[in-house]
C-alpha cells in the first residue's frame, strides 16, 4: 500500500457562507468536501452556535498539492475582505489519490 | 384597566418572566444553554404555527375583509426602511451599507414580539382581528429588499450596472426560511381551513403559549449575551433602538387606524412596525450587504429593541392605538 | 363521497400540504433545513406513539381478535420481497444485491404513510380496526431479513457456507431502532393498557396529527432533495416506484379482506403493503448488502413511492378495498 | 391497595416500562440513540415544568404553609452528605474527594424520580401537597456545597488558606443550569400564579407525563450503558447504591412527618432524600473535585440508585410514610 | 516538556459504519478515538446530515507512527470497496506518548 | 500570495472544561479558537455525547509556532493530572499571519 501526499485545506467561516464556499470549491474543480458546525471566537468576537444565523462552520477539503494555494487565493479574493474567515492548509497522505 | 396595571399584567406573564430569567442566566454566565437544534426547532414551530393560524383566520374572514389591512402592512414594510435609512445615515453617521442593514432589520418584524402582543391583548380582554398574523408573513420581504437596495445604493444611483447580487437578495428575501415558513403555512392554513385546523389544533394552537415562554427563555439569553456589545455600538444606536420602535410603531398605529382595523388590530400592526427582525433579516442581509457589521443590527435588534418592546413597547402601542381610535 | 372528492380532501389536509411545502423548499433550494436532531426526535416520537397506541388497542381488542390479521401482516412482509425481487432482477436488470436491497425496502413499511392513511379515513369518516398500527410493528423485520437473504443469494444457493454477516443482519432487523421502538412501545401499550393511555394521551395522541404535519414538511424536503437523483436511477425504477405500490397494495387489500378486516382496516393493510421504508430498512440493508447502491432504494422509496402514496395511493387503496368488500 | 399491587401498578406504568425498554436497548446494543440536543431539550422542559408548577402551587398555598416543609427539605440537603460521607470514607474506603463527590450526588435530588413518585401517588389515589415540587428546587445547592466542602476537607481543616475554587463551586451550585431552571421557574410560577398557569398549562402540565415517559426511555439507555461499569466500581458501591436510598429515604420520611406533611407529601420528601442527582451534581462536582472519579458517582447514581428507586424505592418510601403516619 | 511525533489518522465515512470502524480500531490495538458527525460531498454525491441513515461521520485516531499505515491498510481492505470512505494520515506531536 | 507557517494546537477534553480551557487560551494571549462537540473513547472509557455532563469537546487553536509549546505546557500543568484530556500540535500554513 502506498500513501500519496495531498493538502488538506481548512476553512472556518460564518454559516451563511457555507453554500457560497462550496460553490467556489466546485468552481475550482474540487471533487468533494466535508463540513461541520463549530463555535468559536476571533477578531469578530464570540460566535456561539446558538442561533444558526450567527453560527460558524468548518469546511475541510483534500486537494492535490498544487491546487491548494490557488484555492486559498480564490477564497481570499472572494471572502476575506467582508467576512469572518480563517483558512489554512496542512499536509496529509491519502490512499487512492485518483479520488481527489 | 389603566396604563400601569396593563404594564404590570404584561410584566408578570410567564413569557416576559422567562425572558427575564434568560437575561439573568446570560448576565450571570450560568452554564444554561439551549442546543442550536432546539432553537431552530422552536423557531420552526412558532413560525409555522403563526402562519397556519393566520391562514385559517384569513380563510374564515374572506379575502375581501383582509386585502386592505394586508396592503397597509406591505406598505409599512416598504416605508420603514425609507424612514430609518436617512436617520441612520445623517444623525447616526453610519455608512451606506450599515444604514441599509439596520433599516432592513427594523422594517422586518419580530414574530415573537407579535405573539407576546396577542397574549397581552388576550390578558386585558381586548379583541383583535384574528387574521392579523397574516401581516407578519408579508412585511419581511419588502423590508429586506428595500433595506438592501438602500444599502447598495441601487435606489439612489439607479440601476447603472447590472447587479448580480440583487437576484440572490431577492431569492433570500422571498425564499429565506423565515418568510418561506410564514407564507407557506399561511397558504396551508387558507387551503385547509377550519377542518385542517381541527386536526392539528392540539399541536399548533393549544400548547403555543407555553412554547413561546420556553423560547423567550432562550431569547433572553441571546439578548443578554448581546448586552456586552452595547458599549461597542455607541450611544446613538442605543437611542435609535429605543426611539425607532416608537416612531415606527406610531406610524403603524396610524396606518392601521386608516385601514379600518380595530383597536386590537391597530395595536398589533403598530407592534409589527415597531419590532425588528432577528430571524429573517440577519441571514439575508449578511449575504447581500457583507460590508455591514452584523454587530450593529443584531445588538440593536436583540439587545435593545426586542426587550424594550416585550416589556414596555407593547402596552405603549396599545395606548397609542386607543388614543387614535377615540 | 366519490373518488375525486376523497382525493381532494386528502390533498387539502395540512399533512399533505406541508409535504408539498417541503418539496417546494427543496426544489427552490431555500435555506430551510431541519436539524438532524429534530428529524430524529420527530421519528422517535412518531414511532413510539404509533406503537403505544397500537398496543393499547390490542389490549382492548384482545389477542383473539388480533392474531389472524397480524399473521396476514407478517405474511405480507415475507411475500412482497419474493414478488419484487424477480421483477427487479429480470425486468429491471438489477444485480442480486441491488434487487435484494430494493425488495427489502418495499417489503418494509412507512409508518408515516400509514398515519396519513388513518387521517384520510378519519376525514372521510370510515372506521377501521384501531389495533391496525400493530401491523406496522411486525412487517419490517421479516421483510428486511427476506430481502437481505435474497440479495445475498442465501435462499437460492442454500446455506452452503456459514454466513457471518447474517447474524448481524438478524440483529439489525430485530434490534434496529425502528423496529425496537415500534415493538417495544407496542408491548408497553399492551401492558399498561387503558390506564397507561390516560396518563400519556395528551402527549402521544392529542398533538400527534400536528407533529405529523411538521414531520411531513421535513419529509417533503428530503424527498425533494432526492428528485435530482431521479435522472440517474433510470426509467425502470421510476415505473417500478409507481407500479410496485399498486401491485403490493392490491395484494395487501386481498389478504386484508381474507383475514376479515373491515374496509378501513383493509385499506390500512394495503397502504402498508404498498408503502416502502426509509427508516428501518436503509440502515440495516446498507450494512448487510454493502454492494447495493443506496441511491436506488432511497430514491425509489423517498422520491417516488412515498409522494405517490401520500397524494394518490391512499385514496386508490381505499377504492380497491371498497371494491373487494362489495 | 396492598404493597404488591402498588408495586405492580408502578411497574406497569408507561414511564417505568419505557425505562425498561431503554435498558433493553442499551443492553442489546441496539442502534437506538437520542441526540444530545433532545436529551437537553427534555431536561430543560422537565425542570422548567416542575419548577413552574411548584411555584404556582406555592403562590396558591401561601408562604405561611410552605416555609416549614421547605426548611425541612433544605435541612435534608445539608444532612445527607454529612451522613453519607463518613460511611463512604470508613466502610467504603473511598478517599476524601471521591467520598465528597458521591455524598454530593446523594444529597442532591433526581427530579425525574420525584415525578415518577407523583405519578405513583396519583395512580393509587393518594393526595399530596402540590407545592412539594418546590422542595426539589432547594435541596441541590446545599447538598452540592456540603459535599464539595467535605471532599475538599474545607470543613475539617477549617478555612486555613483562601480557597479560590470554592467561589466557583458556589457559583456552579447556585447558577448551574439545573438549579437555575428550577429556582427560576419556581419564582416565575409564584409571580405569575394561577393566571399564568392558565396560559401555559397546555404545554407545561398536560403533556408532561408523556414527555417523562419518553425521557425515561433515554434514561434507561443511559443507565444501561452504565451497567458495564458496575463490575469496575466494586461490591461496596453496589451495596451503597441500594442501602443509601433506604437510609436517606427513611430520614426524609421522618423529617417530612415532623414537618407536618401528609402521607403523600412525606412520601415525596422521602423520595427526594432517597434519590440521587445526575443533572445538577455531576457538572458542578466534576469541576470542584477533579480528583474524584466520575465513574463512581455516576454509576452508583444512574446505574443502581435510579433504577432501584423507580422500580422498588417509591412504593417502599410510601409504605414507610404510611407507617410513620399511623 | 517534550513532544513526541505521532500520526493522526482521519476517516470520513457513512454513519452506519461508525460501530464497525471503531471495532476495527480496537482490533488493531488502538487505545482511543474521537468521532463527530459531519456532512459532505464526494464521488457518492451529497451526504447531508438530515437523516441519520444517510449521514457522515469523521473519526480521528492518534496512533504510533509505525501503526498508522497498517491501520489504513486494514481500513482499505475492509471498507473501501463497498462504502463511501475517505482516509488520510498526518503528522502530529503529542504530550504523553505512553497513552497511544 | 504567501502562506505562513503556524501551529495548530488541538485539545480534546471533557465538555465541563471548555470554559476553563478557553480562559487559559486567553490568558496565554491566543486571539481566537474554534470548538465543537465530539464523542470518543480513551483511557477513561467511553464518552458518548448523550448527556452533556459527560460529553467531550474538541478545541482547535492556531498560534504562532513559538507559542505552541508553552501553550501545551500550560494545558498540561493545569489539566492533565485530573482530567480526561488529549492535546497535540501540528503544522499548518495560513493566510494573514497577523491575525494570530
Ligand atoms: N486563532 C484561531 N484559532 C482557531 N480558530 C480561530 C482562530 N481565530 C479565529 N478562529 C475561528 O475563525 C472564526 C472567524 O474568525 P474571525 O474572523 O477572527 O472572527 C472564529 O469564530 C473562530 O471559529
Ligand atoms: N476531497 C474531499 N475533501 C474532503 N472530504 C471529502 C473529499 N471527498 C470526499 N470527502 C468526504 O468523504 C465522504 C465520502 O466520500 P465519497 O466516497 O467520495 O462519496 C464525503 O461525503 C465527504 O464527507
Ligand atoms: N488515541 C486517541 N485518538 C484520538 N482521540 C483520542 C485518543 N485517545 C483519547 N482520545 C480522545 O480524548 C478523550 C479523553 O481521553 P482519555 O483521557 O484517554 O479518556 C477521549 O474521550 C477521546 O475523545
Ligand atoms: Na418593524
Ligand atoms: Na411495503
Ligand atoms: Na437525595
Q: Is A84 helix (H, G, I), strand (E, B) or coil?
A: coil
Q: What are the helix (H) ranges across B31-176?
A: 36-61, 63-90, 96-107, 111-123, 133-152, 154-157, 164-175
CA distance F99 to D265: 61
Residue A60 is given by DSSP the state: E
Q: Chain F partners of A91 at a C-beta cutoff of 8 Å?
A: 91
Of the spans B269-273, C169-173, E17-21, which averages the highest pLDDT?
B269-273
CA distance B79 to B77: 6
CA distance B154 to B160: 8
Q: How many domains does chain A have?
A: 1
Residue D257 C-alpha cell reads as 412527618
- D120: β partners: none
- Residue entry with cell 405517490: C308
Q: Is A58 helix (H, G, I), strand (E, B) or coil?
A: strand
Shortest-distance ligand to the CA of residue C146: 5
Out of A14, A51, A83, the one facing B39 most closely (by C-beta) is A51
Give how far Cα D86 sits from Cα of B277, D100, D159, D285, D290, Å. 57, 9, 20, 18, 20
Taking only the tens place, the pLDDT of each residue in D59-111 is 999 989 899 999 999 999 999 999 999 999 999 999 999 999 999 999 999 99
Is the pLDDT score of E55 beyond 90?
A: no
CA neighbor of D139 nearest in space, from D98, D110, D175 = D110
Task: Give a yes or no: residue A100 inside a domain.
Answer: no
Report chain C residues touching chain D, CB-CB < 8 A: 35-38, 40-41, 44-45, 48, 52, 172, 175-177, 180-181, 184-185, 187-188, 191-192, 195-196, 199-204, 206-207, 283
CA distance D136 to D108: 9
- Residue entry with cell 430498512: C281
Cβ separation F90–E95 shorter than 8 A: no
Please answer whether residues E6 and E64 qualify as being in contact, where contact means their C-beta atoms are separated by less than 8 angstroms: yes
Task: Give a yes or no: residue F100 inside a domain.
Answer: no
Residue E90 Cα, gap to closest chain C Cα (Å) = 29
Is the pLDDT score of E13 beyond 90?
A: yes
Q: Whose C-alpha lies nearest to ligand 1, atom 9?
A: A42
Residues in chain C: 326
Contacts (Cβ under 8 Å, ≥6 apart) of D323:
none
Residue F86 C-alpha cell reads as 488529549
CA neighbor of C145 nearest in space, from C107, C97, C88, C111 = C107
pLDDT, one tens digit for every residue, chain B (326 residues): 577 888 888 889 999 999 999 999 999 999 898 998 999 999 999 999 999 999 999 999 998 989 999 999 999 999 999 999 999 999 999 999 999 999 999 999 999 999 999 989 988 899 999 999 899 989 999 999 999 999 988 766 544 444 556 777 788 888 888 889 999 999 999 999 999 999 999 999 999 999 999 999 999 998 898 888 888 888 999 999 999 999 999 999 999 999 999 999 999 999 999 999 988 888 888 888 988 988 899 899 989 999 999 989 999 999 999 999 98
CA of E45 to the centre of ligand 2 (A): 9
Is the pLDDT score of E94 beyond 60?
A: yes
Contacts (Cβ under 8 Å, ≥6 apart) of C188:
C51, C52, C55, C196, D14, D17, D18, D21
Task: Give a yes or no: residue F26 inside a domain.
Answer: yes
pLDDT band at C160; cut points 50, 70, 90: very low
Q: What is the pLDDT of residue D235?
A: 92
Task: Give a yes or no: residue E50 inside a domain.
Answer: yes
Q: Work out whether the CA dihedral B85, B171, B44, A41 comes out positive or negative.
A: negative
pLDDT band at D207; cut points 50, 70, 90: very high
Q: Is the pTM of this model over 0.80?
A: yes
CA of F88 to the centre of ligand 3 (A): 11
Q: What is the pLDDT of residue A50?
A: 63
Cβ separation B175–C213 shorter than 8 A: no
Out of A16, A55, A82, the one facing B291 most closely (by C-beta) is A82
CB atoms under 10 Å from CB of A78, counted, come to 17
Question: Which chain A residue has the Cα nearest residue B97?
Answer: A82
Taking only the tens place, the pLDDT of each residue in D152-190 is 887 665 444 445 567 777 888 888 888 899 999 999 999
Q: How many domains does chain D have?
A: 1
When comparing pLDDT for B279 and D238, which is higher? D238
Say which CATH number the domain at C261 has: 1.20.1530.20
CA of B44 to the centre of ligand 1 (A): 29
Task: Give a yes or no: residue E100 inside a domain.
Answer: no
Q: What is the pLDDT of residue C89?
A: 95
Give how far Cα D1 sits from Cα of D7, D9, D115, D119, D271, Å. 10, 10, 21, 16, 20
Q: What is the pLDDT of residue B156?
A: 60
Residue E79 Cα, gap to closest chain F Cα (Å) = 21
Report chain F residues touching chain D, CB-CB < 8 A: 14, 16-17, 20, 37, 44-46, 48-55, 82-83
- F56: β partners: F14, F38
N-term to C-term CA, chain C: 16
Question: Residues within 5 Å of ion ligand 5 by Cβ?
Answer: C 109, 275
Q: What is the pLDDT of residue D100?
A: 96
Shortest-distance ligand to the CA of residue A95: 2
Residue D185 C-alpha cell reads as 421557574
Query: Mean pLDDT over residues D240-249, rounded?
Result: 96
Query: Mean pLDDT over residues E7-32, rounded?
Result: 93
CA distance D146 to D156: 12
- Residue entry with cell 395512580: D123
Q: What is the pLDDT of residue C10?
A: 82
- F10: β partners: F60, F88
Q: What is the pLDDT of residue B160?
A: 44
When comparing pLDDT for D274 and C287, which is higher? D274
Say which CATH number the domain at E54 has: 3.30.70.120
**Torsion region of E45: left, alpha or beta (phi above 0 gives left; psi -120 to 50 gives alpha):** left
Touching B: which chains, 3+ CB pairs < 8 A? A, C, D
CA neighbor of D69 nearest in space, from D80, D56, D58, D53 = D58
Q: What is the pLDDT of residue A2?
A: 83
Out of B12, B35, B210, the one facing D202 most closely (by C-beta) is B210
pLDDT, one tens digit for every residue, chain A (100 residues): 689 999 999 999 999 899 999 999 999 999 899 999 999 998 877 777 566 667 899 999 999 999 998 999 999 999 988 887 999 999 999 988 888 8
CB atoms under 10 Å from CB of C83, counted, come to 16
Q: Is C210 helix (H, G, I), strand (E, B) or coil?
A: helix
Contacts (Cβ under 8 Å, ≥6 apart) of D322:
D263
Residue C39 Cα, gap to closest chain E Cα (Å) = 7
Please answer whether residues B15 and B114 qualify as being in contact, where contact means their C-beta atoms are separated by less than 8 angstroms: no
Task: Give a yes or no: residue F81 inside a domain.
Answer: yes
Taking only the tens place, the pLDDT of each residue in F26-70 is 999 998 999 999 999 988 777 775 666 678 999 999 999 999 989
Instruction: For ligand 3, say whether the CB of F44 is within 6 Å of any of its atoms.
Output: yes
> Exposed e or buried b for every residue in D208-243, given b needs 16+ CB within 10 A?
bbbbbbbbbbbbbbbbbbbbebbeebeeebbebbee
Q: What is the pLDDT of residue B232?
A: 82
Task: Give a yes or no: residue F41 inside a domain.
Answer: yes
Please state the ipTM of this predicted complex: 0.93
CA neighbor of F28 nearest in space, from F59, F93, F72 = F72
CA neighbor of D66 nearest in space, from D158, D118, D138 = D138
Instruction: For ligand 2, say whether the CB of A31 is within 6 Å of any of its atoms.
Output: yes
Is the pLDDT score of C164 beyond 70?
A: no
Please answer whether residues A100 and A62 qualify as being in contact, where contact means their C-beta atoms are separated by less than 8 angstroms: yes
CA distance C4 to D174: 63
Task: Indicate the angle between helix axes D235-258 and D96-107, nearest 10 degrees.
Answer: 40
Residue-averaged pLDDT of chain C? 90
CA neighbor of D317 nearest in space, from D261, D278, D279, D277 = D261
Domain that holds residue D66: 3-324
CA distance B150 to B143: 10
Give how far Cα D62 sits from Cα of C22, D68, D73, D207, Å. 50, 12, 17, 27
CA distance B137 to D278: 43
pLDDT band at C234; cut points 50, 70, 90: confident
Q: What is the pLDDT of residue C98?
A: 95
Q: What is the pLDDT of residue C212?
A: 93
Amino acid at each position: 500500500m502506498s500513501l500519496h501526499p495531498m493538502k488538506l485545506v481548512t476553512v472556518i467561516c460564518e454559516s451563511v457562507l457555507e453554500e457560497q464556499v462550496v460553490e467556489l470549491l466546485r468552481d475550482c474543480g474540487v471533487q468533494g468536501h466535508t463540513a461541520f458546525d463549530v463555535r468559536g471566537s476571533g477578531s469578530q468576537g464570540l460566535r456561539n452556535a446558538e442561533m444558526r444565523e450567527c453560527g460558524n462552520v468548518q469546511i475541510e477539503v483534500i486537494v492535490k498539492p498544487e491546487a491548494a494555494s490557488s484555492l486559498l487565493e480564490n477564497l481570499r479574493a472572494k471572502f476575506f475582505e467582508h467576512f469572518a474567515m480563517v483558512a489554512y492548509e496542512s499536509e496529509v497522505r491519502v490512499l487512492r489519490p485518483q479520488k481527489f | 384597566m389603566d396604563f400601569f396595571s396593563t404594564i404590570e399584567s404584561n410584566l408578570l406573564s410567564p413569557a416576559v418572566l422567562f425572558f427575564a430569567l434568560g437575561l439573568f442566566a446570560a448576565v450571570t454566565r450560568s452554564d444554561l444553554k439551549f442546543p442550536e437544534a432546539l432553537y431552530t426547532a422552536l423557531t420552526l414551530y412558532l413560525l409555522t404555527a403563526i402562519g397556519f393560524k393566520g391562514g385559517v383566520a384569513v380563510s374564515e374572514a374572506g379575502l375581501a375583509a383582509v386585502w386592505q389591512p394586508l396592503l397597509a402592512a406591505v406598505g409599512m414594510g416598504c416605508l420603514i426602511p425609507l424612514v430609518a435609512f436617512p436617520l441612520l445615515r445623517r444623525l447616526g453617521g453610519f455608512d451606506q451599507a450599515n444604514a441599509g442593514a439596520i433599516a432592513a432589520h427594523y422594517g422586518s418584524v419580530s414574530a415573537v414580539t407579535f405573539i407576546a402582543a396577542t397574549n397581552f391583548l388576550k390578558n386585558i380582554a381586548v379583541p383583535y382581528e384574528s387574521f392579523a398574523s397574516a401581516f407578519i408573513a408579508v412585511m419581511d420581504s419588502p423590508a429586506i429588499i428595500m433595506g438592501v437596495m438602500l444599502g447598495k445604493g441601487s435606489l439612489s444611483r439607479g440601476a447603472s450596472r447590472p447587479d448580480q447580487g440583487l437576484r440572490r437578495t431577492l431569492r433570500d428575501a422571498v425564499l429565506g426560511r423565515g418568510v418561506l415558513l410564514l407564507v407557506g403555512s399561511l397558504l396551508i392554513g387558507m387551503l385547509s381551513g377550519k377542518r385542517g385546523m381541527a386536526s392539528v389544533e392540539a399541536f399548533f394552537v393549544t400548547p403555543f403559549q407555553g412554547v413561546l415562554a420556553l423560547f423567550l427563555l432562550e431569547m433572553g439569553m441571546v439578548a443578554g449575551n448581546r448586552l456586552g456589545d452595547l458599549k461597542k455600538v455607541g450611544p446613538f444606536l442605543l437611542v435609535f433602538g429605543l426611539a425607532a420602535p416608537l416612531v415606527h410603531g406610531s406610524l403603524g398605529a396610524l396606518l392601521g387606524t386608516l385601514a379600518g382595523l380595530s383597536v386590537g388590530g391597530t395595536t398589533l400592526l403598530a407592534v409589527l412596525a415597531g419590532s425588528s427582525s432577528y430571524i429573517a433579516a440577519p441571514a439575508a442581509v449578511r449575504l447581500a450587504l457583507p460590508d455591514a457589521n452584523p454587530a450593529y443590527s443584531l445588538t440593536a435588534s436583540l439587545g435593545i429593541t426586542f426587550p424594550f418592546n416585550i416589556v414596555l413597547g407593547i402596552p405603549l402601542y396599545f395606548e397609542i392605538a386607543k388614543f387614535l381610535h377615540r
